[in-house]
Amino acid sequence: MDQMMGDGGRFPLETWFWEMPICTRWWTTATVLTSALVQCQMVTPFQLFYSFRAVFAKSQYWRLLTTFLYFGPFSLDLLFHVYFLQRYARLLEESSGRSPAHFSWLLIYSMTSLLLLSPLVSMPFLGHPLSSTLVYIWSRRNPDTRLSFLGLLVFTAPYLPWVLMAFSLVLHGSIPKDEIMGVVIGHIWNRLGTSSADLSPPEYTSYTKPSTFAARHRLPIMKAYWYDNLDGDQRLAHDSGKEVTIGELKKLGVFYHRIPDLDGVNQLASERGYRNRDEIVVSPEKMGDIYEEKVKSFFHEHLHEDEEIRFVRDGHGYFDVRDVDDAWIRIRVEKDDLIILPAGIYHRFTTDESNT
């Protein structure tokens, strides 16, 4: 099933807005509104920047938030910052399973760290360092994603923060302290977290009210394990004997459900904002002579920029997903199994030995 599912009555800009997960959506909105208020001279930047004395001596607590919302007046520079903010914040939030609690924990950590470091570097506005932090964390979670900068330079994601830092140095002629701060905070997050840079909050903040869909479809025991990387047909089990739990899959942003009917799939798709879908029958009977070629092509690793749902209506097979350490996890799927693949994760599919 493809990303997005029937909502033809909206304008493209409105659709783009509501497709963003909630934290990214309102952070982007608040950023644009803050610049608009300054542009209309309803507030001034002097009322927005972070000052320890203003916050704690004069009780101007709003500055703890507004310092992350102001990127400057309306300009191409603001457009550039908003693009990076919504793109990489969105990718990170979607990879956390679109859970506001999970992504909020990352934001709280980053904002608190930047506020503590701010007096040391005399930086009144912290929106750019926060955006740089998210870019760095995303780049480390997607080491094989290939990017192009201005159509001239092609590189893999881990180099993105350094490319942006070099570009800022050339453009402004000064050391980009804000981007360096973002890299430092992001690196500490990765070092303190797991190898997959888990976005999970502590247990006491992880409760969220279950949706109607979740209440009806409880998670059963499922089969997932580390791929053994041995030679042999891709349709063999390739079971290393090392189990992967549902919790470990969630840390990668991969969610598993078992749904006995299409109504449940439709409800889940509606809750997650999908508009389009497609259906593929993978079998020797349906594909004939091209079956073997197609199965091999499905097994080529690839990624998508949007979250996707994969639902098995009949038969058996395997979905493989790759973690941030380039190790493959194999998920055994059969009739009524559904998995949610986050944006930006490498994955592949194959039928099993039964070819059904």
Give the span between the Cα atoms of 354 and 68, in whole angstroms: 55
128 is in an annotated binding site: no
316 is in an annotated binding site: no
Give the span between the Cα atoms of 230 and 239, in whole angstroms: 10
- Packing angle of the helix pair 100-121, 22-39 (nearest 10 deg): 40
Radius of gyration of the chain (CA): 23
81 is in an annotated binding site: no
Place of tokens 């507004």: 66
Residues, the chain: 356
98, 163, 166 from 160: Cα distances, Å: 24, 5, 10
Give the span between the Cα atoms of 75 and 79, in whole angstroms: 6
- CA dihedral (175, 50, 187, 327) in degrees, to 10, reads -120
Q: Considering only the C-alpha atoms of the chain, give the largest distance between any 2 of them, rounded to a whole number of Å.
A: 77
- The partner residues of 154 in beta bridges, in order of sequence, read 148
**Residue positions in the annotated binding site for Ni(2+)?**
302, 304, 308, 347
**Residue positions in the annotated binding site for Fe(2+)?**
302, 304, 308, 347
**Residue positions in the annotated binding site?**
302, 304, 308, 347
